[in-house]
């Protein structure tokens, strides 16, 4: 185990599990991860390898004996008949049969219906009435010749969820972790390897948890396929339910006026709509109207009676176009069905997760480290729904008075949710609070800016905050900085842009472009945001390397394969800048890898051979004193480029996929946050 895993297992004994074990035991069982982790938490919540292996075998045995596969349902029914009683793991739903005045259960995989359930069971587990719950149930068989009698009897039923937890112990253990360690623990808990995610990408993943810890929170995520948008809502918690966007009615979601039965919002903490996008989809206008009222007022009507509920709403769907296309020609909500592409509905959304920033999930991105048994974390988040963290920024910052009530509510609820997830003990520095506040403002601004494109009656709003020193700080979305020519906040601006009218204010706030003008490069300093795209070595370095005869690169981290590849791409930039009849000397100053020095030399020798064939003479030296810390590029014609991250400016991308554009073209890669300074030294 790495140091973080050791720390996790020490402070949360019996409450964490190695995340790769879910795949090990799942096999062909079509069952949510939280069900498997419930079992793994019973038998494998340890760091002892022998105990883990023994626990895995026990869980496999439990699944083999008690989990009901649909293809084997007949065999299980026969087993119950022959033995008289058998324990099964299945999804159980209950309906009230008014004609018989009795509650009747349906077992999804086992294929039996009309199983009598006593009223006390329904009182203890009301979610059985809506959507169904995964349970461990004892089922008996008693045949009778009575007409219409059902031989199946439900003896006991236990929903698969944690029965109790120590919240104060959770808070005490949180204090033992740094913020970075805690974020990595949470990312591992939802199944991902934090090494493959930037800080911003980790926050994107964790925002998906806010509906579980914040009441009546409205979240939307639209983006490309394959980014895991629905995973959190289908696999993570027994307190959330995922439904198809086109498979819900007013009666199912809110209330059935015929019998007075409350729908999903009355029983579940989170109701998520999968496949919500699709312009050709038709939605029930009555449902949309009730949904709008509920999202705004937390209530809905049943006849003459008004009812309240606490369920949060999450909407996830796929986009059909690239981000710049949507910004230039449509809007970021364009893929929604017409009935939902309505400013009144969209204004109720508290946060828009930019799905185009979320990486498509690859195999190596899944965690093999330790994380919370998800059922434990789900109960912690549910407990936090009862607490209010929305005011915790006020000791340090003040939101702009320009924000509307809905803007302010959206920002405060997102901030509160992130505080609950990252700082449940309420102990955060001003800088940490500011990070979350800016993130919350950006997510709500993404909604509001698109509303101004859709509906010109919305007034322009200045999203920002003021610190206690009186300094006002503006918050903009990343796409606004990436595409200032296309990012427009109103219909009139759209018309101006289409007519070719310049937008000087937007251009001024654009992400920095490499400092090069028609008559050559110039001195300056650039700062690039995390997840920014469109940045290449040719843009950053090309103008400054042109006409150089000798280039010295100092970087202590040209050791591993991806670092050597970065250096090779710098050589490619050098090659594109030089004339065919020129020869250029490139010298690398780096540090020899302590464990893989031979491999490191092999990379450099291969590059040396390849470069020599096109007129680039590559040499290198290892700093044996290990005194190199700064990273920079110096040319013999007077330029020095200071690099705070060296050449390692890109987020993880698939280097082995020959057909991925991120592999072949730098401009499609997401960047890390980094800075570059250009100095003229002669």
Q: What is the rounded distance in angstroms from the CA atom of residue 251 to the CA atom of residue 237? A: 24
Reference 244, options 236, 235, 233; nearest CA is 233
Cβ neighbours of residue 449 closer than 8 Å, sequence gap 6 or more: 477, 480, 487, 489
Q: What is the rounded distance in angstroms from the CA atom of residue 507 to the CA atom of residue 503? A: 6
pLDDT at 375: 84
Q: What is the rounded distance in angstroms from the CA atom of residue 51 to the CA atom of residue 620? A: 50
Measured CA angle at 678 (ends 672, 682), to 5 deg: 155
Q: What is the rounded distance in angstroms from the CA atom of residue 495 to the CA atom of residue 473? A: 29
Mark the ranges of the chain whose per-residue pLDDT is less than 50: 489-511
Whether residue 637 is contained in a domain is answered as: yes
Q: How many domains does the chain have?
A: 2
CB-based contact 232:208 (threshold 8 Å):
yes
Q: What is the rounded distance in angstroms from the CA atom of residue 270 to the CA atom of residue 292? A: 16
Cβ neighbours of residue 495 closer than 8 Å, sequence gap 6 or more: none
Q: What is the rounded distance in angstroms from the CA atom of residue 560 to the CA atom of residue 597? A: 10
Contacts for 40-45: CB closer than 8 Å, 24+ residues apart: 40/373, 41/14, 41/15, 41/17, 41/373, 41/375, 41/376, 44/17, 44/18, 45/13, 45/14, 45/15, 45/16, 45/17, 45/373
Beta-bridge partner residues of 97: 102
- Domain with 588 in it: 516-680
Ramachandran bin of 470, using left for φ above 0, alpha for ψ from -120 to 50, beta for the remaining angles: left
The two tokens of residue 645 are 């991250």
Radius of gyration of the chain (CA): 29
CATH number at residue 586: 3.30.870.30
Whether residue 55 is contained in a domain is answered as: no
Whether residue 376 is contained in a domain is answered as: no
Assign 375 to helix, strand or coil.
Answer: helix
Q: What does the buried/exposed string (b/e) look like for 387-410 if buried means 16 or more CB atoms within 10 Å of the residue's CB?
A: eebbebbeebbebbeebeebbbbb
Beta-bridge partner residues of 329: none
pLDDT at 73: 92
Whether residue 400 is contained in a domain is answered as: no
pLDDT at 163: 64
460: phi then psi, degrees, rounded to nearest 5: -65, 140
The helix/strand count (H/E) of the chain reads as 25, 28
Domain endpoint, select from 137, 159, 181: 159
Reference 491, options 460, 454, 519, 527; nearest CA is 454
Q: What is the rounded distance in angstroms from the CA atom of residue 510 to the CA atom of residue 502? A: 13
Q: What is the rounded distance in angstroms from the CA atom of residue 543 to the CA atom of residue 526? A: 15
Helix (H) or strand (E) holding 200: helix 199-207
Assign 620 to helix, strand or coil.
Answer: strand
Whether residue 443 is contained in a domain is answered as: no
Beta-bridge partner residues of 255: 262
Reference 483, options 317, 665, 322; nearest CA is 322
Where does 395-455 show beta strands of DSSP type E?
Answer: 397-399
Domain endpoint, select from 129, 159, 189: 159
Q: What does the buried/exposed string (b/e) look like for 124-139 if buried means 16 or more CB atoms within 10 Å of the residue's CB?
A: ebebbbbbbbbbbbeb
Ramachandran bin of 547, using left for φ above 0, alpha for ψ from -120 to 50, beta for the remaining angles: left
Domain endpoint, select from 116, 135, 159: 159
pLDDT at 315: 96
The label of the residue with tokens 């005869």 reads: 549
pLDDT at 426: 96
Whether residue 417 is contained in a domain is answered as: no
Q: Angle, nearest 10°, between helix axes 374-384 and 167-174?
A: 100
pLDDT at 481: 85
Q: What is the rounded distance in angstroms from the CA atom of residue 91 to the CA atom of residue 136? A: 9
pLDDT at 502: 37
Whether residue 10 is contained in a domain is answered as: no
The two tokens of residue 579 are 């004339």
Whether residue 107 is contained in a domain is answered as: yes
CB-based contact 233:272 (threshold 8 Å):
yes
The separation between the first and the last C-alpha atoms of the chain, rounded to the nearest angstrom, is: 51
């Amino acid at each position: 185990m790495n140091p973080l895993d050791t720390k996790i297992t020490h402070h949360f004994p019996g409450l964490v599990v190695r995340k790769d074990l879910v795949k090990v035991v799942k096999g062909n069982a079509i069952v949510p991860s939280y069900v498997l982790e419930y079992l793994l938490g019973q038998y494998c919540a340890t760091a002892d390898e022998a105990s883990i292996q023994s626990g895995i075998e026990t869980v496999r045995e439990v699944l083999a004996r008690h989990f009901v596969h649909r293809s084997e349902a007949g065999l299980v029914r026969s087993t119950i008949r022959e033995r008289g009683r058998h324990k099964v793991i299945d999804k159980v739903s209950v309906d009230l049969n008014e004609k018989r005045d009795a509650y009747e259960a349906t077992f999804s995989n086992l294929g039996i219906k009309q199983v009598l359930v006593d009223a006390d069971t329904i009182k203890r587990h009301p979610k059985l009435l809506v959507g169904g719950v995964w349970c461990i149930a004892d089922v008996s068989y008693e045949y009778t010749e009575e007409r219409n009698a059902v031989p199946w009897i439900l003896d006991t039923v236990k929903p698969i969820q944690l029965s109790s937890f120590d919240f104060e112990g959770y808070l005490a253990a949180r204090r033992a972790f740094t913020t970075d360690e805690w974020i990595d623990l949470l990312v591992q808990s939802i199944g991902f390897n934090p090494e493959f995610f930037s800080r911003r990408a980790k926050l994107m993943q964790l925002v998906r948890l806010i509906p579980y810890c914040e009441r009546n929170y409205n979240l939307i995520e639209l983006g490309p396929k394959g980014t895991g948008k629905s995973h959190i809502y289908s696999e993570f918690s027994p307190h959330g339910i995922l439904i198809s966007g086109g498979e819900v009615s007013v009666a199912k979601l809110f209330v059935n006026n015929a019998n007075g039965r409350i729908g999903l919002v009355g029983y579940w903490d989170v109701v998520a709509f999968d496949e919500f996008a699709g312009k050709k989809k038709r939605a029930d206008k009555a449902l949309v109207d009730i949904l709008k009222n509920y999202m705004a007022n937390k209530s809905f009507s049943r006849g003459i009676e008004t009812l309240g509920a606490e369920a949060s709403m999450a909407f996830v769907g796929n986009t059909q176009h690239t981000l710049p296309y949507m910004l230039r020609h449509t809007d970021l909500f364009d893929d929604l069905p017409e009935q939902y592409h309505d400013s009144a509905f969209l204004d109720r959304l508290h946060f828009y997760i930019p799905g185009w920033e979320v990486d498509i999930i690859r195999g190596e991105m899944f965690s093999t480290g330790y994380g919370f048994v998800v059922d434990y974390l789900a109960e912690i988040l549910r407990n936090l729904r009862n607490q209010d963290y929305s005011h915790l920024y006020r000791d340090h910052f003040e939101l702009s008075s320009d924000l509307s009530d809905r803007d302010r509510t959206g920002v405060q609820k997102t901030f509160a949710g992130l505080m609950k997830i990252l700082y449940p003990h309420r102990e955060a520095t001003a800088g940490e609070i500011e990070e979350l506040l800016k993130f919350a403002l950006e997510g709500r601004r993404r909604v509001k800016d698109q509303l101004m494109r859709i509906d010109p009656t919305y007034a322009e709003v200045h999203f920002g905050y003021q610190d206690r020193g009186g300094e006002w700080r503006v918050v903009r979305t990343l796409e606004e900085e990436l595409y200032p020519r296309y990012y427009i906040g109103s219909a009139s601006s759209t018309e101006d842009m289409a007519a070719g009218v310049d937008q000087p204010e937007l251009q001024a706030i654009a992400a920095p472009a490499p400092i090069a003008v028609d008559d050559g490069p110039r001195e300056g300093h650039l700062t690039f945001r995390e997840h920014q795209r469109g940045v290449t070595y040719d843009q950053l370095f090309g103008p400054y390397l042109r006409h150089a005869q000798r280039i010295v690169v100092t970087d202590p981290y040209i050791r591993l394969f991806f670092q050597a590849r970065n250096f090779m791409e710098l050589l490619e930039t050098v090659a594109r800048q030089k004339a065919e009849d020129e020869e250029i000397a490139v010298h690398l100053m780096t540090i020899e890898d302590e464990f893989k020095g031979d491999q490191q030399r092999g990379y450099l020798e291969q590059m040396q051979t390849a470069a020599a064939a096109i007129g680039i003479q590559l040499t290198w030296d290892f700093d044996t004193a290990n005194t190199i810390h700064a990273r920079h590029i110096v040319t013999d014609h007077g330029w020095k480029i200071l690099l705070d991250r060296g050449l390692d400016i890109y987020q993880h991308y698939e280097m082995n996929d020959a057909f991925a554009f991120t592999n072949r073209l730098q401009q499609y890669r997401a960047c890390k946050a980094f800075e570059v300074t250009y100095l003229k030294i002669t």
